[in-house]
Amino acid sequence: MKRQTIAIFLVLMVVGLFSVSASAQKTHSVWTNNNGLVVADPTTGCNYGTFSGFNMATSWTEPTPGYPAQAHFRGVTKAGAAGCTTYFYDFRLIKSAATDPDYIKGVWDVYRSGVLVCSACDGIAYGLSSAAGVGNYYKVYVDDPAYPGTENWLYSGYINTRKDF
């Protein structure tokens, strides 16, 4: 839990830096606090809907001429489901490729109980433009080349807080 608090604090610090260094750009930030929707794990075949702590913090800027898109995302949870082993999941955006008011496209790492299970995998977060409140959620899909198809990993939660600068 201490690591989660530190990670969220670091993301909030980055949001502050974005607001100073990218004043010409539109910057957004969305948070989820203990309000998860689903985590899907292709390695176990489980869709988790029961969580012990479900937290996410993200911030991103929309690119303007002369400035690259920048984004940060970190989502962590301890997830369980009937008939499935309980794991700790950590979804991390390691490189952003494109952003707009609703999505972040980039390269992701996915950890399960501290083990890297999807390294440098393409993915997208979308639904980020929704207002904070009941029923408004986002989804993160990560493509894992070890499994057929796309959008193998899923991390989705409700939006509790948002800020736009």
- Confidence at residue 11, expressed as pLDDT on a 0 to 100 scale: 47
User: Is the pLDDT reported for residue 24 higher than 70?
Assistant: no
What total number of domains does the chain contain? 1
- Confidence at residue 64, expressed as pLDDT on a 0 to 100 scale: 78
CB 160 within 8 A of CB 130: no
User: Is the pLDDT reported for residue 32 higher than 70?
Assistant: yes
User: Is the pLDDT reported for residue 164 higher than 70?
Assistant: yes
Give the chain's mean pLDDT: 87
Question: Residues of 68-90 as b/e, b for ≥16 C-beta within 10 angstroms?
Answer: ebbbbbbbbbbbbbeeeeebbbb
pLDDT in tens, 95-116: 999 898 899 999 999 999 999 9
Q: What is the mean pLDDT of residues 73-88?
A: 95
Q: Is 135 helix (H, G, I), strand (E, B) or coil?
A: coil
Structural domain boundaries enclosing 155: 2-164
Q: Show the tokens assigned to 125.
A: 């977060």
Report pTM: 0.82
If one compares 49 and 23, the residue with the highest pLDDT of the two is: 49
What residue has token string 């989820």? 32
- Confidence at residue 150, expressed as pLDDT on a 0 to 100 scale: 85
How many whole angstroms separate alpha carbon 65 and alpha carbon 63? 7
User: Is the pLDDT reported for residue 10 higher than 80?
Assistant: no
Q: What is the mean pLDDT of residues 121-147?
A: 93
Cα separations (Å) of 49 from 10, 37, 139?
27, 6, 14
Q: Which helix (H) or strand (E) holds 20?
A: helix 2-21
